[in-house]
Amino acid sequence: MLERLRGDFVREFSHELRTLEPVLEATRKGEFAHEKAVAAAGEFFHRLAGVAETFGLSTLGRLAMVCDRIADLAGGADAVERGRIFEIMCIGAGATKESFQELDGRSAERATLAFPPPKHRVITTPLFESGRAASIAIVDDDATSGQIITACLESAGYTTTLLRDPRQASEVLARTLPDLILLDVVMPELDGFALCELLRKNPALALVPILFVTAKNDTAQKVRGLTVGGNDYIEKPFNPDELVARVAAHLERLRTIRELAIRDSLTGVFNHKYIEGLVDQEVKRASRYEAALSFAIVDIDHFKSINDTHGHQTGDAVLSRVVRVIGGQLRTSDAVGRWGGDEFVILLTETPLAAAEGVIRRVCQSIRAVSFPAQAGEELRVTASIGVSAARADDTAQTLIDRADKALYRAKGAGRDRVERE
């Protein structure tokens, strides 16, 4: 993709330069104010500075960067200074035109990237248990710049969405909820800073990393970007390996934060809130696709007496070990959560009741077979009562849970250390 973009880059910017030249010429004749010409030239050089060096055109990139920074000075300049700045823009445009004329079809094809694409595909860590690659939204009104970023990230294994209109980006991002957002700073009508402030007002995007990408190497801008809610700043032209590394680092931190939010701190399995939501999600999926789904509630028998007799530290060790025993009997597609206290739940996807009952009986037997270290070298054994049920076509999450709960109470009433189905 990057090879194709080289030719697109030369054609696009050559066309833009041809559009800029009449504005500069008209300004020389006094038909336009210097401010208009300098603003148009500044925008052209800003975009050129962001991508030229990526295609190996380092001299052109540095020329564009100098012109971009000089154009920024026009805002506080007097009439004489604005005239001088205009002359510099004209000189820069002439030098750029000569560079593009040298880049004929053959030389454009021979141009090599100043920084090669990432050498190694990133093994992306799923943010939850779905196995999906992280999704990244890129908001950049410059098609060439956005496509270069897209190519770098997709070659590293990420899923990307390029949004060209910053005014529509807020609505799209609120609907799609990407895992990370890359924002260009200089955009028409709504700049990256204003868009970042808008995004941070949405609670669903509060923790999503936002990285600014811009050719403006300005400390004040970096400070402002961090102040409005940005997490990092990447300068154009960028090294693709650095871009991917920064993205990966922020996604790993996000994954850690999300994991802490959905995991039980003692046992490491899903907490009640998350597993409850997962049950609801899977019940709806099973109903929609007529898929099999089973659900079980595991209660450790007489757990209170374990705490009272052997202490809470031993009780905690028992809970953690029971979770490992349960996990040893399940598939990676199944889920375990702590329901509360000494109760755990098991969600078995694509599993009808008869098959689920067999799995749950093995869980019950495995818990019974394990010994736990207790005080003074004693060995402690525990048992569990388990109720299991399967989803029906008209089920909600609550009705499925209620049936498993009834089965659990039957197991307790029948003497514990057993499995009952409902």
Sketch out the chain's domains with CATH numbers. 2-110 (1.20.120.160), 135-261 (3.40.50.2300), 272-421 (3.30.70.270)
Name the residue with tokens 């969600």.
347
- pLDDT greater than 50 at residue 112: no
Residues 173-210 pLDDT 10s: 989 899 999 999 888 888 899 999 999 998 888 889 99
Spatial distance between the Cα atoms of 88 and 72, rounded to a whole number of angstroms: 12
DSSP E strand stretches across 252-323: 293-300
pTM above 0.75, yes or no: no
For residue 59, CA distances in Å to 99, 101, 154, 266 come to 9, 15, 28, 58
For residue 237, CA distances in Å to 10, 94, 150, 162, 268 come to 16, 22, 14, 18, 42
Spatial distance between the Cα atoms of 40 and 380, rounded to a whole number of angstroms: 79
Which of 10-24, 379-393, 407-421 has the lowest average pLDDT? 10-24
- pLDDT greater than 70 at residue 148: yes
C-beta of residue 155 within 8 angstroms of C-beta of residue 117: yes
- pLDDT greater than 90 at residue 105: no
R_g over Cα of the chain: 31
Name the strand (E) or helix (H) holding 145: helix 143-155
Neighbours of 31 (CB within 10 A): 12
Report the b/e string of 246-279 with b at 16+ CB within 10 A.
bbbebbeebbeeeeeebbbeebebbbeebbbebb
Q: What is the pLDDT of residue 303?
A: 93
Name the residue with tokens 């922020």.
250
Q: What is the pLDDT of residue 155?
A: 82
Residue 345 structure tokens: 């739940």
Report the b/e string of 110-125 with b at 16+ CB within 10 A.
ebebbbebbeeebebe
Residue 122 banded pLDDT, cuts 50, 70, 90: very low
- pLDDT greater than 90 at residue 415: yes
